[in-house]
Amino acid sequence: MTTLSPANPLSPPSQSGGLAWLTLLTGPYARAAALLCLFAALGVVLAPWLGEGYVSLVFVLAISLAGTLYGMTPALVASLLGAFLFDFFISEPVFEFSLDRTADLAPPLVFTLCAVISGWLSGRLKDEAIRANRSNRQLESLLDLSRALQSANSEADVTGILGADGRRYSLLRAAPQDGAVVVDALADPAVRSVAQAAMTDGREMVEKDNLVACRLDTGGRVLGALVAEKGAAGEDGLLLARARMGALVLERIELGERLGEVRAKARSEELKSALLASVSHDLRSPLTAISTSAASLLEYGEQFDSETSRELLSGIVAESSRLNHLTANLLQMTRLQAGQEELYWTDLPVADTLRAVVERKRRLDDSHPIRLVAPDEDVLVRADTALFDLVITNVLQNAARYSPVGTPITITCGVEGELCAIAITDEGIGIPPEEQSRVFDSFYRGERGDRKPGGSGPAGSGLGLAIARGFVNACGGAIAVTSPVKDGQGTTITIHLPLTRNEAL
Amino acid sequence: MKTGHILLVDDEPAIVTALRPALRAVGHEVTIARDGNTAIASMTVNDPDVVLLDLGLPDMDGKDVIRRIRQTTGTPIIVISARHQEYEKIAALDEGADDYVDKPFVLGELLARVRSALRRRNHLDEAPTGFEAADLSIDYGTREVKLRGEVVKLSPKEYNLLKMLAESAGQVVTQKRLLAAGWGRSEADPQYLRVYVGMLRQKLEANPSEPQLILTEPGVGYRLSVNHAG
């Protein structure tokens, strides 16, 4: 936006050389002078009829007009010029400067006084109007700015919106790293020092060479500094106002970020306590079985027949492997909770990985035939391989645990828009609707004891689907359960993961 | 009399497989129930002497199982708990369980608890006239307490507390029950209880700072040890 017209006498053009002269010739002074000359000529023409007194009023009219049109200073200049012209052309003797008689002195003196006062008054009026107009436009621009800033979500947004006025801005933040340049549109090495001065100096605005820095603070807390190139006189006040507005928005952004952090922390605390609860429960059961079996063998081993001893020993082996799987789950859960930086994100080929997981599952447990339907052309998702593997293993294990031996489990994998969809379907007894919302909670296990007719495998940890949900959330995907699938039987767990944006695939 | 019929209620096949041989080896008869309903049914069918109950059952809350069993019989119930939460143990004991062991338990300790429970079971029908274990003897008729043959003077409150502990010797007694026995109301300040247990230990323990006889079950209550060598 432009606040001032080129003709504004309050901000003298800063150009230099020939251009300045040109401006001066076409500027308010030249126009005021031209106006005056026009009226002076009129006065000279009319002088024989009107007489000296009335002609002087014509001059005063010209000066008042000049003041109204061009402001106070041109009017004052015009009034002096008018006094000179009046003395030369109008007052007797004409065509000479005659101030030698005391009587001659009075008219031009009175006239000059009238002209100056009239020029001053009319000019001041004009100046006030210009000023009011300008502050009005500034207010409007600030209003527009505040509206635009509502949508800002980052420092770059803020400087971008501020920069809509044609100026370039650099933004420095006081926290978390002192004096860190966040946005640097100026790319001037002096930015940092002038910003530092604004942040630490008591003044809200610091000028240095061609730069001006405004301290960004809200209620005494310094958020950073906004640096711009020095603008025309009078614009810096506006800059300060814009900077204050920017500071408010920055604070809002900062508070929003902090709120997000607090929420994330609360969520992770919740997960942690759930994890602890499951550790205590799930580690103890296999440990108890192992320790009891071993103690029994030690204490009463001689009384046992070989079958009992074998049963106890194989129990120790099975429970150890269960403990192992459990610790893997716990480890991955901890990694998930530690946050993104603990995860190894790679572009993971989904179909290929599914094939490997299914192969391993088939080797370890042949109680359920597993069918994998995957596209020939693999799809990539951004994920942590160990976690992905564990999640699929967990879901497969659940499917096997809660469906009769011999019933098939089907895994499908495909692309749905921007997402990779993985669905694992069993033909088990299903999950009642009232339980479906809870299956993803840590430590939750199905209520129905009869899920697995004739089954005798170890109970689950109640962690599997909780990890699945944690993993899928970390990937920015979604996980859902559908049950029954058909004929009142079966469960489908569907996992949607965002595809890697990789056109080169 | 040290052997009996044990009902083991646990949905973990691994625990059942591990525990059954040892229980049989020491002479117990073992019946298995995988869920609460089977356990309750088994109470009438098998009439076990002791119930070993895991609180985490697939079909119902373990505490409900205790309540249902208690409606018909006073058979000792020992809770096996994997969740080390005091409030859950207390709730189970309040429902009428006699004792609890934490997973993972030491086999020898579990067998000792079963022995204690069986002893109590055998005395259920006859009102005991006294308590006799290791160095300590209590005559409920004369209210006389002897430690290594020497008479120990106890205040009425101390005696009531000791008797309460002795009646469930070897098993945990909740603060609530002890407060009810000593002060007549279970919601009295547990601080009183700590003070009186402290005084009992002064009179009965060889080294009151390392009690061997009256053991603390943190957050739950106290247990009178019947195995102490003291």
Q: Is A277 on the interface with B (CB under 8 A)?
A: yes
Least confident of A111-115, B31-35, B117-121: A111-115
Residues B168 and B111 in one domain: no
pLDDT of residue A505: 43
| Position B94 in a domain | yes
| Position A437 in a domain | yes
Q: Which residues contact A147 (CB under 8 A, 6 or more apart)?
A: none
Residue B112 maps to which CATH number?
3.40.50.2300
Q: Do B107 and A288 touch (CB under 8 A)?
A: no
Residues B151 and B220 in one domain: yes
CB-closest option in A289, A296, A448 to B14? A289
Residues B78 and B114 in one domain: yes
| Position A28 in a domain | yes
Distance, CA of A7 to CA of A27 (rounded, Å): 6
B60, closest residue in chain A (CA to CA): A447
**Matching residue, tokens 């010029």:** A81
Neighbours of B29 (CB within 10 A): 14
Residues B31 and B116 in one domain: yes
A460, closest residue in chain B (CA to CA): B12
CB-closest option in A286, A296, A303 to B14? A286
Distance, CA of A87 to CA of A189 (rounded, Å): 60
**Which of A148, A167, A188 is the last residue before a domain boundary?**
A148
Give B172 to chain A, closest Cα distance, Å: 21
Task: Give the number of C-alpha atoms closer than 13 A to the C-alpha of residue A204, restricted to the C-beta side.
Answer: 16
Q: Is A458 on the interface with B (CB under 8 A)?
A: yes
pLDDT of residue A148: 86
Distance, CA of B173 to CA of A223 (rounded, Å): 61
| Position B230 in a domain | no
| Position A232 in a domain | no
In A285-314, the residues whose Cβ lies within 8 Å of chain B are 285-293, 295-296, 299-300, 303-304, 308, 311-312
- Using a CB-CB cut-off of 8 Å, the residues of chain A touching B15 are 285, 288-289, 292
- Using a CB-CB cut-off of 8 Å, the residues of chain B touching A446 are 58
Q: Characterize A224-239 residue by residue with b for buried, 16 or more Cβ atoms within 10 angstroms of its Cβ, and e for exposed.
A: bbbbbeeeeeebbebb
- Using a CB-CB cut-off of 8 Å, the residues of chain B touching A296 are 18-19, 21-22, 25, 107
Query: Given a cut of 90, is residue B9 above it in pLDDT?
Result: yes
**Which of B122, B141, B158 is the last residue before a domain boundary?**
B122
pLDDT of residue A455: 37
Mean pLDDT score, B86-92: 85
**Which of A148, A165, A196 is the last residue before a domain boundary?**
A148
pLDDT in tens, B174-228: 888 888 888 888 777 888 888 899 999 999 988 888 888 899 888 888 999 876 4
Distance, CA of A271 to CA of A254 (rounded, Å): 26
Distance, CA of A382 to CA of A501 (rounded, Å): 9
Residues B210 and B102 in one domain: no
Beta-bridge mates of residue B217:
B221
Task: Give the number of C-alpha atoms closer than 13 A to the C-alpha of residue A432, restricted to the C-beta side.
Answer: 9
Does ipTM exceed 0.85?
no
**Does an H or E element contain A182, and which?**
strand A180-184
Q: Which residues contact A83 (CB under 8 A, 6 or more apart)?
A: A108, A111, A112, A115
pLDDT of residue A21: 63
Residues B55 and B137 in one domain: no
Q: Do A293 and B18 touch (CB under 8 A)?
A: yes
Residue of B107, B110, B111 to mutate for A, most A C-beta atoms under 10 A? B107
B11, closest residue in chain A (CA to CA): A459
User: B148: which 2 tokens?
Assistant: 């290594």
**Which of B96, B122, B148 is the last residue before a domain boundary?**
B122
B59, closest residue in chain A (CA to CA): A449
| Position A326 in a domain | no
Residues B32 and B114 in one domain: yes
Distance, CA of A141 to CA of A162 (rounded, Å): 11
CB-closest option in A299, A319, A447 to B14? A319
Residue A479 maps to which CATH number?
3.30.565.10
Residues B42 and B142 in one domain: no
pLDDT of residue B57: 84
Helix A102-149, helix A235-300: angle, nearest 10: 20
At B128, the pLDDT band (50, 70, 90 cuts) reads: confident
Query: Are A237 and A139 within 8 A, CB to CB?
Result: no
Number of domains composing chain A:
2
| Position A34 in a domain | yes
Give A292 to chain B, closest Cα distance, Å: 6
- Using a CB-CB cut-off of 8 Å, the residues of chain B touching A299 are 22, 25, 107-108
Residues B84 and B134 in one domain: no
| Position A303 in a domain | no
Residue B188 maps to which CATH number?
1.10.10.10
| Position A127 in a domain | yes
Domain limits at B20?
5-122
Q: Is the model more confident about B163 or about A333?
A: B163
Domain limits at A39?
18-148
Cis omega before residue A408 (within 30°)? no
List chain A pLDDT tens, one digit each, 505 residues.
333 344 444 444 444 455 566 666 677 888 888 888 888 888 888 888 877 777 878 888 888 888 888 877 888 888 888 878 877 877 766 666 665 555 556 666 677 777 778 878 888 888 888 889 988 888 888 888 888 888 888 877 888 888 777 778 888 877 665 556 677 777 777 888 888 888 887 778 888 878 888 888 877 778 888 888 877 666 777 788 888 888 888 888 888 888 888 887 877 777 667 667 666 677 888 899 999 999 999 999 899 999 999 999 988 988 888 888 778 877 777 777 777 667 778 888 888 889 888 888 887 777 889 999 888 788 888 888 888 888 898 888 888 888 888 899 999 999 888 889 999 999 888 888 877 777 777 656 554 443 333 333 445 556 678 888 888 888 888 899 888 888 888 889 999 998 886 544 4
- Using a CB-CB cut-off of 8 Å, the residues of chain B touching A284 are 82, 102-104
| Position A87 in a domain | yes
pLDDT of residue B68: 92
**Which of A103, A125, A148 is the last residue before a domain boundary?**
A148
Q: Do A449 and B58 touch (CB under 8 A)?
A: yes
Residues B174 and B79 in one domain: no
- Using a CB-CB cut-off of 8 Å, the residues of chain B touching A289 are 12, 14-15, 17-18
Tally of helices (H runs) and strands (E runs) in chain B: 8, 12
Number of domains composing chain B:
2
pLDDT of residue A14: 44
- Using a CB-CB cut-off of 8 Å, the residues of chain A touching B18 are 288-290, 292-293, 296, 312, 315
pLDDT of residue A293: 93
DSSP at B127: P
- Using a CB-CB cut-off of 8 Å, the residues of chain A touching B17 are 289, 293, 311-312, 315
B55, closest residue in chain A (CA to CA): A281
Q: Do A312 and B17 touch (CB under 8 A)?
A: yes
Query: Given a cut of 80, is residue B79 above it in pLDDT?
Result: yes
Residues B107 and B196 in one domain: no
pLDDT of residue A321: 81
CB-closest option in A312, A446, A447 to B21? A312
Distance, CA of B66 to CA of B80 (rounded, Å): 12
Distance, CA of A115 to CA of A75 (rounded, Å): 9
Q: Is A273 on the interface with B (CB under 8 A)?
A: no
Neighbours of A277 (CB within 10 A): 16
pLDDT of residue B39: 93
Query: Given a cut of 90, is residue B30 above it in pLDDT?
Result: yes
| Position B229 in a domain | no
**Which of B71, B102, B122 is the last residue before a domain boundary?**
B122
| Position B204 in a domain | yes
**Matching residue, tokens 């030249």:** A30
Q: Do B56 and A281 touch (CB under 8 A)?
A: yes
Residues B160 and B217 in one domain: yes
Backbone angles phi, psi at A207, to 5 degrees: -110, 145
Q: How far is CA A501 from CA A347, A379, A489, A498, B164, in A?
A: 10, 10, 37, 9, 72
pLDDT of residue A96: 67
Backbone angles phi, psi at A448, to 5 degrees: -75, 120
Query: Given a cut of 70, is residue B83 above it in pLDDT?
Result: no
Q: Do A295 and B106 touch (CB under 8 A)?
A: yes
CB-closest option in B14, B19, B83 to A318? B14
CB-closest option in A304, A315, A448 to B18? A315
Phi-psi region of A276 (alpha: psi -120 to 50; beta: other; left: phi over 0): alpha
Give A270 to chain B, closest Cα distance, Å: 18
For A319-368, strand residue ranges (E) read 345-349
